[in-house]
Amino acid sequence: MTADAASSAIPHPRLELIARLTADLAPPIEMGETSAGLRRIIPILGGTVDGPLLWGEILPGGADWNTWNDREQTGSLAAQYAIRTRDGVVIGVTNTGRHTIPEPGEPIFTTPVLEAPRGAYDWLNHVALVGSLRPRGEGGTGVFLEFWRAIVAREHPTHPAEREQ
């Protein structure tokens, strides 16, 4: 590697867990075949948020608008819902992903984006997240999710609790 290539190398990110979520789902509403595939709307009934950096509940009222394309053996998901933290702050979640049928036990990877009001959770507006999703319960009654943030180093913490350490 040349000196120029070494000095321009981008550090590899590592992942830090923000929270584990457990979402309860209503039965899917089958919309039918569309140009993208079979469209289903899955209402989100609520759930829990538990993690080292974010705690609270998933509020009812969100939904996942997903598709499955039999011909291509691919699917997509686009969920929007809200979290209420233990201290009463409401945070919006948009979680998207594309996938094939995963092997048993393997997750579907997603790209969550969180929108927080100014204040203690503003740091969520400025992080890159990776999510994982696995089905929970018989017949799709829920999902387990994990939200991870990509970080390079701790020299510049973005979460207030980290600055105090």
Q: Compute the CA torsion angle 52, 56, 59, 62 (nearest 10 deg).
A: -10
Low-confidence ranges of the chain (pLDDT < 70): 1-7, 153-165
Question: CA 92, CA 79: separation in Å to the nearest integer?
Answer: 11
Residue 164: per-residue pLDDT: 46
pTM value is: 0.84
Question: CA 8, CA 79: separation in Å to the nearest integer?
Answer: 37
Question: CA 35, CA 31: separation in Å to the nearest integer?
Answer: 12
Domains and CATH numbers, the chain: 12-26+44-61+82-151 (2.40.160.20)
